[in-house]
Amino acid sequence: MSVLVVGSVALDSVETPYGKIDDALGGSATFFSAAASQFTDVNVVAVVGDDFPHEQLDFLKNRKVNFDGLIKKPGKTFRWGGKYHLDMNHRETLFTHLNVFEDFDPELPDHYKETPYLFLANIQPELQLKVLQQMKRPQLVILDTMNFWIEGTPDALRKVLKHVNILIINDSEAKELSGETNIFTGAKKIQEMGPKILVIKKGEHGAVMIDNGEYFFAPAYPVKDLKDPTGAGDTFAGGFVGYLAKSAYVCQKNLRRAIIYGSTLASFCCEKFSLNRLEEINKDDIEKRYLEFLEMMKVE
């Protein structure tokens, strides 16, 4: 199965205790594609300005990521700047310049419309809806969102959620969306909004998947050389959705494996700035770490 992703392609300026980059490749659709393309074909819907260095996407094109849906508009590309301190669980946003993203009006190329799996990255719910409406009966819809939309555009978000099968969200966002302090109680309320399967990310504490009454707990991979966590969430989603799309069948067994693949890809993402580590790794690297990961959870 192939996957369509709508999200951002951006230029990031990031500072961590281990270094600094300016105007490096970033954006949710980019990190997602770099991970998902290890498993399946990816169609990207996004927008960039006329200053965008397209050659930086070459390694993704070589992995059969299709950029026919990447619109080029006059103006500047979306830029984000952030800073991480020693505790890299928290970051400081230094600036967000939406630029050409501000009036992004996603229009899907015809050959994108029958893509079976759809990932709606963390962007305005109105844009997520616009993409949904252009799709011809996607088999599986996965959504990422954040506090900004939960608070700012709750009605539009609720509309999108009705069409979503799997929601990827972090623990504080799950609490905010449900209005509950306990994520397990909150999960029931969110499931009533649409998505039957929740993947709740807990940063360094891993993730929990809630599918009806069934729970699955996964740790986070203990990254030794943490350099820059930017994009780890989108990379997790890319590994998760990519593996699910490859396995082509949504069941607990595949969902659980998908979470470990997602965490595996996210762990690589953090080892270098921007997409530098995601560009390097191959299927063998991923498989080796995936198996190492399982070993850390195994009880005989």
| Residues binding a copy of itself (CB under 8 A) | 86-87, 181, 184, 202, 205-206, 208, 215-217, 219, 222, 224, 253, 256-257, 260, 294, 296-300
Q: Which residue has the tokens 């965008």?
A: 52
Q: Which residue has the tokens 């709750």?
A: 154
**Smallest distance from a copy of itself to CB 204, Å:** 9
Start-end of H helices in the chain: 28-36, 58-61, 125-134, 147-152, 154-161, 171-178, 183-193, 232-247, 252-269, 276-280, 283-295
Angle at 216 between CA 213 and CA 222, to 5 degrees: 155
CA-nearest of 107, 132, 136 to 120 is 132
Q: Which residues pair with 169 in a beta bridge?
A: 200
CB atoms within 10 A of CB 227: 21
**Smallest distance from a copy of itself to CB 187, Å:** 10
Q: Which residues pair with 127 in a beta bridge?
A: none
| Pick 155 or 295: Cβ nearer a copy of itself | 295
| Pick 148 or 215: Cβ nearer a copy of itself | 215
DSSP, residue by residue, 60-105 = HHTTTEEEEEEEE-SSPPPEEEEEE-SSTTSEEEEEEE-GGGTT--
| Pick 179 or 296: Cβ nearer a copy of itself | 296
| Pick 157 or 208: Cβ nearer a copy of itself | 208
**Smallest distance from a copy of itself to CB 205, Å:** 4
Rounded-to-integer distance, Cα 186 and Cα 178, Å = 5
| Pick 148 or 217: Cβ nearer a copy of itself | 217
**Smallest distance from a copy of itself to CB 59, Å:** 30
**Smallest distance from a copy of itself to CB 182, Å:** 9
**Smallest distance from a copy of itself to CB 158, Å:** 27
| Pick 283 or 298: Cβ nearer a copy of itself | 298
